[in-house]
Amino acid sequence: MKAVFFDLDGTLFDTLPDIRKAMNYALKAYDGEEASLDEVRRYVGRGLHRALSIAASEKKAQGLDEDEFELMFQLMVSAYGKHPVENTRPYTGIPELVEWLRNKGVKLGIVSNKSDSLVQEIVEALLPGSFDFILGEGKGYPLKPDPSGLLAGIKEVGSSPDEAIYVGDSEVDAETGKRAGIRTLIVSYGFRTPQELEKAGINTALNTVQELGELLNRVI
C-alpha cells in the first residue's frame, strides 16, 4: 500500500466539544434547547449544514424559515471558526501512528465533509506538515459518500485505488470507500459506537488506534 487516507472528525481528532459549543451558540440565538455531546455526535457525519438542520428540528429552534436557517448556520460557522481547536485533540496514539506511516514512506491524505478552511486550520494546529493531501467541503467536490474527492486525492499523491486504504469512523465513510473501490477500515473509537456500526452493517470495526496501527502494519 502506497497511501493511507483518513476522515477527520472521529477518526483523527475528537472535534465534538468545539462543534457542540458552536452549535449550541447558534441554537441559543433562536431559543433552541441545548444539545448534549452525545446528541451532537449523532448529528454529525454528512456536513455541518445537515447536522445543524437536524439539531434545529430536534431542539425546537424558533422562527426558522429557509433564510433564517441560513443565517443560523452562518452564526454557527462564525462561532466555530473563531474557536476550532479550543478543545479539539488528536485521539491517543494518532500522532505516533501518523509519524510511523510517514517514516515508512506512505503518502497520507485527509478527506472531510467539514469546510476546507476549518480542516486546514485544525490540521495545521495539531499535526502540521503531516499530510500530502487535505480536502474539505467547498473545494469543488461533492460531500462524502460521493468518492470523487477521495479518488482525486489518491491520484494527486501518485497512488491508485488498489494501492490505497481509507480510514473512517462512520457508515458514511464505509459507503465512500465502497463507492471508490478502496479497501476501507472503520474505527469505533470515534463518533459511532460499535453497536451503531453493527446496526449499519459494519461488523469489523477497529476499537482502538492501536488495533488500527497493528492492522496497517500487516498490510503496508
- Sign of the C-alpha dihedral computed for residues 171, 70, 78 and 54 taken in this order: negative
C-alpha span between 131 and 136 (Å, rounded): 13
pLDDT at position 47 is 86
In 19-129 the beta strands, taken as DSSP E runs, fall at 89-90, 107-115
| Successive 10-residue mean pLDDT values, the chain, 220 residues | 96 97 97 96 90 96 94 96 96 98 98 95 97 95 97 98 97 96 96 92 91 95
Location of each CATH 1.10.150.240 domain in the chain = 16-82
pTM: 0.93
Location of each CATH 3.40.50.1000 domain in the chain = 3-14+88-219
- Is the peptide bond prior to 147 cis by the omega test (within 30 degrees of 0)? no
C-alpha span between 75 and 59 (Å, rounded): 16
Amino acid at site 56: A
Contacts of residue 196, defined as CB under 8 A and 6 or more positions apart, other chains included, come to: none
C-alpha span between 177 and 147 (Å, rounded): 7
Count other C-beta atoms under 10 Å from residue 70's C-beta. Answer: 12
Whether 169 is a known active-site residue: answer: no
Fold of the domain built from segment(s) 16-82: DNA polymerase; domain 1 (1.10.150)
State the DSSP H helix or E strand holding residue 168, giving kind and residue range, or none if neither: strand 164-168
pLDDT at position 45 is 82
Residue 168: beta bridge partners? Answer: 186
Fold of the domain built from segment(s) 3-14+88-219: Rossmann fold (3.40.50)
User: CB-based burial of residue 208 (10 Å sphere; 0-12 exposed, 13-18 middle, 19+ buried)?
Assistant: middle
Distance set, CA 75 to CA 37, 52, 78, 94 (Å): 19, 11, 5, 31
